[in-house]
Amino acid sequence: MLTKYGMNQWLPTAVILWPVAAACAWLAQGGQPIWWIPCALLLLIWLAFAAFFRDPPRRPSANNPTDFLSPADGTISAVIRVAHHDATNGPALVIRIFLSVLDVHINRAAYDGTVVGLRHQPGRYLDARMSAGARVNENLLLTLRLDDGRMYGIRQISGAIARRIICRVKIGQRLNRGQRYGMIQFGSTTELILPQPECATSLVQEGSRVYAGRTAIARLSAPGSTK
């Protein structure tokens, strides 16, 4: 299945390449087998391009419904605690995920919550693998309010190749755990930001492989409770 978030890219490409490939196949069947080569190349190019917009169905692999799911496919590039973050209006646990161009780029909600903030920040387009990119690259911070009143955030960060952030939500909208809400085109970084780091436990470490809407990556205990 191809995502609706990339329809403006993969559909026009198909409209252009498929008829050309069909014409090459017609010429090849008409006694000019050399035309099978451009036909095959065009189909491979489109399949490689369309693969970036794939949107596989996902179910949580963890049985604990209180765990926060990964908001993106990729590899954990950092697990850090910061003294202040705008998403939580205080100290936070930040789990950073690097997405290569080969990863599924659909972003999903990590936990049930109501959208209370959307902040787009223009910036640079450094390589997503560079730690500096998380600080200075173009990004969009989505802030959600949990049922207990605490806030958590998901930040979509562009990269050297990624130049378009898509976030199809509105203030006041309710997102469910694992629900699709946007994507980044193409390689990029996504961060999960949790409040009260003394209550937050990371279930992953740097180098862990995670999948959006399926891999449990963090747990947030109630204030005053033991982890």
Q: Which two tokens stand for residue 103?
A: 């990863």
Choice among 77, 158, 188, 202 that is catalytic: 188
Cα distance from N-terminal residue to C-terminal residue, the chain? 39
Distances in Å between the alpha carbon of 94 and those of 15, 69, 133, 170, 173?
A: 42, 14, 15, 23, 23
Q: Which helix (H) or strand (E) holds 49?
A: helix 36-51
Closest-CA residue to 83 (of 93, 69, 73): 93
Dump the DSSP string for 171-222: TT-EE-TT-EEEEEESSEEEEEEEE-TTTEEES--TT-EE-TTT-EEEEEPP
Residue 12: strand, helix, or coil = helix
Q: How far apart are CA 133 and CA 164, in angstroms?
A: 15
At residue 79, φ and ψ (nearest 5 deg) are -130, 105
- What are residue 193's DSSP bridge partners? 94, 153
**Catalytic residue list contains 188:** yes
Question: Could you list the active site residues?
Answer: 188
